[in-house]
Structure formats: structure tokens, C-alpha cells
């Protein structure tokens, strides 16, 4: 593998600006690495011709002094983002033939700033999953392996392809989305950095919808600074998205490296889950100590409605999914299965096109929205959501950010939880509260387990206060000094 693929995004941008190497050379190095890593199944589609064309254009702009903030940097794109003229499948058979004629706002902004597209990244079907096993294109394999076993492990989900590609040096960074933890949990399981920004910070236009009030785009990157650089380009008000916030975009990277001295960090007692592995508890204590040593004040806080978050989420998200996915009927785009009449076409298309987990969530959503159960389930879940948001509001009266574990375990074996939906849903236990409240949160790698697998720490911030999160995440990253990389086994 070329040393160029080992670079961080920041180092690559600096090298391109200094003419140490060209974007074509950098892009070709990543394309070569991707060709040798097909065993990971991180990409569902590679776009080498387009990537090299974009790289040549970047080199020309660099030479003319007209470089953008991401000029020449090769990135991977989660296949939930529509890319004009390039298949965009959302990991589903029902969209396997869909080629959008338009570009998502987030990816358009990346190209505006000079980024290069390497290809489309694998994901759980319609972003529904925590292990990247529901993809119609097969599971992504985590580049990390346990020292105790050679079993194939999950990279987490739904942004498993994004996390695996970054961890295996198959992209300098990647776009991802987070509906209940789908950026942060994969980042934790792959030793990468992932931030879910404030709801409305990044446009949802052109991103295939799962649960519209919860979905939010964000980056997965190698370092905190890289994530900050990417998020700046991905963010911004978009009039095409009614939920997009009309606020300015800070220079997030400028917050990385600042002293966190004087910031108050809340430690919520409700995140000490029953049966949580001792290694995660130890890392949490280490994280508290690291921030304390950096000059932060540690305070205990309570988020009393946390235990209701998972049930509320798994009512609200499927309800919204059942509505959003009704558009896939075989009439306008994507798969169309034959049928004797319109009703049969609908039924056969959906039966053939949707995977089992998607069907499960559509059925749950239709059930909780039905006339006899709407008040008992959906309305009650929305009331719980309000109480969870109020818990955070109260907590932030006494602290500037919260520190918690990111995920309840390290990477687990493929198939270990796929037969038990409840066990799979429990992977989101530390992350769904943030989506329900619309807050920003970041996962930073902190340590390895005894079996050599990465674990992450999560920081949760006030709405639109990603800058504080980047300052604290930078301090955690420096203290943890996490420099481990997966041993190359896939080629």
C-alpha cells in the first residue's frame, strides 16, 4: 500500500498545497488500495474514471492558485447520498437500478470545495441496522480482527462501509449519516472519529430518507481535525431543505487544539448500563481523568428519561420510515416487479425489493400509526422524546458537554446479533438520545480491548455548539494518544 493512503486528510491537503504530490497520484494510490481490499466489501461501487477526472481538474486548480478547502482530497460517499449520474441504492434491491439526475446538497458542497469521489460506500439497507448486515450487497467486514480469533467482525452500522473504508485507508474521509447512532457507533467499532452534528446543520436534501426528524449527515474521519475540516464543507443552510438551519458555518478546525480549561463536563449516571463490559467502564473513567487533567471540571448529572429512549426511538423511527418508504412502489423509479394489477405490482415490488429488517420496521411503523394504536404508541413516544430533550436542557444548565461511552461493546462477530432484533437494537443504547433531542455528538477512539479491538468515547454538546465538542474531542484525542491501526489481513 502506498504511504499516501496513510496520510490524514489535513496532511494530504498540506502536501497537495505544497506540490509534494498531485491529486492524481493521491487518488490513484487510494484506487489501488481499494482494488486490493475487495474482501472488506466497503464499496458497492468504485468510480475510478470519474475520480481521476476530478483529480486532474483539482491539480489544474491548485496550479492556477484557485484551490478549494478540500482541493484534490479523495473521499468515499455513503450510498445514501444521491450522486448525479452515479447509481445511488441506499443498500437496497429496490433502488439497485436507480441513477439520480441530481446531486445531494452535501456532496455538491464537497465537490464545490474540490473533493474527489472515489465511489459509493456500503451501508445497511435504508440505514436500518447496527452491523451493516442488512445491505443487499452483503455485509461489510471490519478491517480490525481480534487477537483471540480470526472471525469476521462487524464495522457497525449503518455507516459500516464509511467507517471500514476510513479505518483501512481506502479514503481520506467519508460521508455518513446518523439516525440513532449510525456515525458514532461504527466510528467506535473501527477506531475512527465520527461526528453527528446538530439536527439541521447539514442539509438532508438528496439524502435518501429513513426517519426525517432524526436523520443527519456528518463525516467519519481519521482524526478530530479531519472531521472538523470535512464538517465545515458539509454544513450550511439549504433553502431546499425546510429543516436546514439558517445559521453560519464556523471554522470548526480552529477549535481543535484550544485549551478546554474551565469547561464543565457532565457525567450522566444513567449511562452506566447493566452488564456493561469492565473495559468500557475503565475507558470512561480514563476519559474523565484526561479531561480533568486538561483543566475541565467534572460534575455528576442526571438524564432520568434515558431508559425510555430506546423504546421511544424504535416507535418514532419506524413510524417515519413507514411513511417515507411508501414512495417505493415500482411506478416511478427503481425496481418494478410484474403483477396482474396495480395492487399486485405494489405488493410484489415491495416483497422482492425490501429486505427483512426494512419490512420489519415498515410493519412496526404502520402498526404504531394505525388508528387504534396511534395515541398509545406514537403520541406517547413523542411525549417521551420531549422529556428526553428537557433532560438535556436541564443538564446543560450545569455543564458545557457530557461524556459517555459511545457503544456498549467492541466490534462483535457477523451473525452474532442478526437473528435477535432486540439484541441488535441495544447497540444504540448510548446514542439514540442525542438524535431524539437533535443535539451534536462526537465519538473519539480511546483505547483497545484486551483482544486488540477499538473502543470509543462520546461527547454530547448543546445544539449548534460543535466548536466546544471539537475542543474537548481534541483534548481527549491528545490524551488517549490512540495510534493503533488494524493489521492488514485482507490482501
Q: 449-459: b or e for each residue (b if 16 or more CB lie within 10 Å)?
A: beeebbbbbbb
What is the distance, to the nearest Å, from the Cα of residue 78 to the centroid of all Cα atoms in its chain?
9
- Which residue's C-alpha cell is 467482525? 153
Cell digits of residue 281 = 467502564
Write the DSSP symbol of residue 145: -
Q: Which helix (H) or strand (E) holds 391?
A: helix 380-395
Q: Which of 23, 162, 182, 203 is catalytic?
A: 182
Q: Which of 58, 130, 146, 158 is catalytic?
A: 158
Query: Residue 34 in contact with residue 1, Cβ under 8 Å?
Result: no
| Euclidean distance between CA atoms 78 and 43, whole angstroms | 9
Number of helices (H), then strands (E), belonging to the chain: the values are 15, 11
| Euclidean distance between CA atoms 188 and 280, whole angstroms | 11
Residue 265, phi then psi, degrees to nearest 5: -110, 120
78 is catalytic: yes
Strand order in the sheet with 173-178: 43-46, 116-121, 74-78, 173-178, 216-221, 193-196, 441-448, 454-461, 401-405, 264-268, 297-301
Query: Residue 244 in contact with residue 212, Cβ under 8 Å?
Result: no
Cell digits of residue 138 = 452483503
443 is catalytic: no
483: exposed, middle or buried (Cβ count in 10 Å: 0-12, 13-18, 19+): exposed
Write the DSSP symbol of residue 83: B
Cell digits of residue 426 = 441495544
Query: What distances in angstroms separate CA 284 from CA 406, 453, 458, one per listed residue?
Result: 10, 16, 9
Q: Which of 23, 58, 78, 244 is catalytic?
A: 78
182 is catalytic: yes
| Euclidean distance between CA atoms 139 and 274, whole angstroms | 29
Return the active site residues.
78, 158, 182
Amino acid at each position: 500500500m502506498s504511504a499516501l493512503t496513510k496520510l490524514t486528510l489535513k496532511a494530504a491537503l498540506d502536501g497537495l498545497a505544497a506540490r509534494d504530490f498531485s491529486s492524481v497520484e493521491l487518488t490513484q494510490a487510494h484506487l489501488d488500495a481499494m482494488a486490493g481490499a475487495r474482501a472488506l466489501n466497503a464499496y458497492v461501487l468504485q468510480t475510478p474514471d470519474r475520480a481521476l477526472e476530478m483529480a486532474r481538474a483539482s491539480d489544474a486548480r491548485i496550479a492556477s492558485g484557485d484551490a478549494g478547502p478540500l482541493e484534490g482530497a479523495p473521499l468515499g460517499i455513503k450510498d445514501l447520498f444521491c450522486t448525479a449520474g452515479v447509481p445511488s441504492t441506499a443498500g437496497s434491491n429496490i433502488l439497485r437500478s436507480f441513477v439520480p439526475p441530481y446531486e445531494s446538497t452535501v456532496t455538491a458542497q464537497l465537490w464545490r470545495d474540490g473533493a474527489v469521489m472515489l465511489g459509493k460506500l456500503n451501508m445497511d439497507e435504508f440505514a436500518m441496522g447496527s452491523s451493516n448486515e442488512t445491505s443487499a450487497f452483503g455485509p461489510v467486514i471490519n478491517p480490525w480482527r481480534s487477537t483471540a480469533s480470526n472471525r469476521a467482525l462487524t464495522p457497525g452500522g449503518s455507516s459500516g462501509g464509511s467507517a471500514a473504508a476510513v479505518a483501512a485507508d481506502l479514503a481520506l474521509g467519508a460521508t455518513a449519516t446518523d439516525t440513532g447512532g449510525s456515525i458514532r457507533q461504527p466510528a467506535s467499532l473501527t477506531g475512527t472519529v465520527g461526528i453527528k452534528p446538530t439536527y439541521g446543520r447539514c442539509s438532508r436534501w438528496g439524502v435518501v430518507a429513513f426517519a426525517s426528524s432524526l436523520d443527519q449527515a456528518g463525516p467519519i474521519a481519521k482524526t478530530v481535525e479531519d472531521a472538523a475540516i470535512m464538517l465545515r464543507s458539509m454544513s450550511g443552510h439549504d433553502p431546499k431543505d425546510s429543516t436546514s438551519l439558517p445559521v453560519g458555518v464556523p471554522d470548526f478546525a480552529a477549535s481543535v487544539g484550544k485549551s478546554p480549561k474551565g469547561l464543565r463536563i457532565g457525567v450522566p449516571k444513567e449511562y452506566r448500563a447493566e452488564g456493561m463490559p469492565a473495559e468500557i467502564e475503565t475507558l470512561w473513567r480514563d476519559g474523565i481523568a484526561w479531561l480533568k487533567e486538561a483543566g475541565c471540571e467534572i460534575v455528576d448529572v442526571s438524564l432520568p428519561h434515558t431508559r425510555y429512549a430506546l423504546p421511544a426511538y424504535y416507535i418514532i423511527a419506524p413510524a417515519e420510515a413507514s411513511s417515507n418508504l411508501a414512495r417505493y412502489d415500482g411506478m416511478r423509479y427503481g425496481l418494478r416487479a410484474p403483477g396482474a394489477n396495480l395492487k399486485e405490482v405494489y405488493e410484489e415490488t415491495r416483497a422482492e425489493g425490501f429486505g427483512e429488517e426494512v419490512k420489519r420496521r415498515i410493519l412496526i411503523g404502520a402498526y404504531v400509526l394505525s388508528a387504534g394504536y396511534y395515541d398509545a404508541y406514537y403520541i406517547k413516544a413523542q411525549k417521551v422524546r420531549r422529556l428526553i430533550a428537557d433532560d438535556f436542557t436541564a443538564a446543560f444548565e450545569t455543564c458545557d458537554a457530557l461524556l459517555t461511552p459511545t457503544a456498549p461493546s467492541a466490534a462483535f462477530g457477523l451473525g452474532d446479533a442478526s437473528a435477535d432484533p432486540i439484541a441488535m437494537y441495544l447497540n444504540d443504547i448510548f446514542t439514540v438520545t442525542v438524535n431524539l433531542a437533535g443535539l451534536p455528538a462526537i465519538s473519539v477512539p480511546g483505547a483497545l480491548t484486551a483482544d486488540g479491538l477499538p473502543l470509543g468515547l462520546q461527547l454530547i454538546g448543546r445544539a449548534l455548539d460543535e466548536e466546544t465538542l471539537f475542543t474537548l474531542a481534541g483534548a481527549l484525542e491528545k490524551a488517549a494518544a490512540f495510534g493503533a491501526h488494524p493489521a492488514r489481513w485482507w490482501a
